Chains A and B, each alone.
Chain A
Amino acid sequence: MLAYGRGDPGAFDTLYKRHRGALFRFILRAIKQRPAAEELFQETWIRVIEASNRYAPQARFTTWLYTIAHNLLVDHWRRKGLSVVQLDEDSAAAAPDNPARQAEAREALARLLRAIEALPAAQREAFLLHEEAGLSVAEIAAVTGSGEEAAKSRLRYAMAKLKAAVDDG
């Protein structure tokens, strides 16, 4: 990232390739809508590019990147009318079954995906930051601006619900 900030475009390509898949899946599974996910994904990287000459490696690049993504997610949820408190509440219903998805995936995987989508937004985000970005509880807390105990709780609840869904049936 520092190399890119000094004007090396190849450095950005390397960084982008390393993080693009995980970041995209994080955003997509956090908001569950592909067109909006593509937009937020692109906006995240645009902000990275615009802030690149101010970047200082005082935290992992991954933490910085996902903090930017998290802020965009929060803006997205706010536009949808969700308050910060509501991000911790169960969503109304799981996403409807996608027949094409069920045809392709094994039933347990389909259950897992539905269970992830059914998690409250904050728990889903904590889980995805842990699984896709490989962040620790402390880093999840830093990205989401919550305390470590709150981050640990959200992750624990998310794992418990997903375990129940995967073990079920």
Chain B
Amino acid sequence: MADDPKISQRYRELPREEPPRHVDDAILAAARRAADARPAPLVTPAGRRRWYFPLAAAAIIVLAVAVTVQVERQQRDVEVAEAPAVATSAPRREEPPAAAKREVFAPEPKPAPSPRQPSADLQKAPAPAAQAMRAPAEVSGVVGKLATVSPEQWLQGIADLRRQGRHEEADRQLAEFRKRYPDYRIPEAMLEKVEKR
């Protein structure tokens, strides 16, 4: 191993630089603003009532899955009922790929694995309830749509924007990607495609 106690000791004798007070204040203020902006939990997850929270989360998941399945079933029933009338237009009546179809009705196809999971498995949705609550907001807008794909697909989308010369949009997407996946390591080859030259 490369440990050297003498070096470590000397290193600890170096001046202990600290961030300036105004930087501390700015960071702590940002943290408080973010905490204040978050919706309060359904129940206080502490003490003897701790079990309420996961039970409520489980109930929401079951409900969401049941509604999704029911809607999909109804859609299939409608398509089957209409099939004889449009027998000649077979391509349009083909079932779209399962993943894409699920995306129309349920942006979060399953609680796990989510397509938004980064390859470095340091990030997961914190709680199924919170994940389900975020789903409607995330399907709106271009950023929301891209947020439902994998990080690799998102980056490829940004690379496509660069190739098309849509640099402002690419910059926005890249900034959003970095906010969402701050610890995602973009491979060098992909970095060259997504960063503005």
Binding site for B on A (CB under 8 A): 2, 4-9, 12-13, 16, 20-21, 24-25, 28, 38, 41-42, 45-56, 58-59, 63-64, 67-68, 71, 78, 84, 104-105, 108-109, 112-113, 130-131, 137, 145, 152, 155-156, 158-159, 162-163, 166
Contacts and interface: CB of A to CB of B under 8 A. Distances in A.
B35 A9 contact: yes
Contacts of B121: 58
A68 B41 contact: no
22 contacts: A6-B41, A6-B45, A8-B35, A21-B19, A28-B17, A41-B23, A47-B178, A49-B30, A51-B181, A53-B38, A67-B122, A68-B183, A71-B178, A71-B183, A105-B15, A130-B2, A131-B8, A159-B2, A159-B4, A159-B7, A163-B7, A166-B10
Contacts of A55: 122-123, 126
Contact of A56 (B28, B35, B36, B123): B123
Contacts of B97: none
Interface of B: 1-4, 6-8, 10-20, 23-24, 26-28, 30-32, 34-36, 38, 40-41, 45, 120-126, 130, 178-185, 188, 191, 195
Given A84-B188, A112-B10, A162-B7, A25 B17 contact: yes
Contacts of B12: 131
A164 to B, nearest CB: 10
From B15, B23, B183, residue with most partner A Cβ within 10 Å? B183
B16 A25 contact: yes
A24 to B, nearest CB: 5
A11 to B, nearest CB: 9
Given A38-B20, A50-B182, A12 B2 contact: no
B126 A56 contact: yes
Contacts of B124: 54, 56, 58
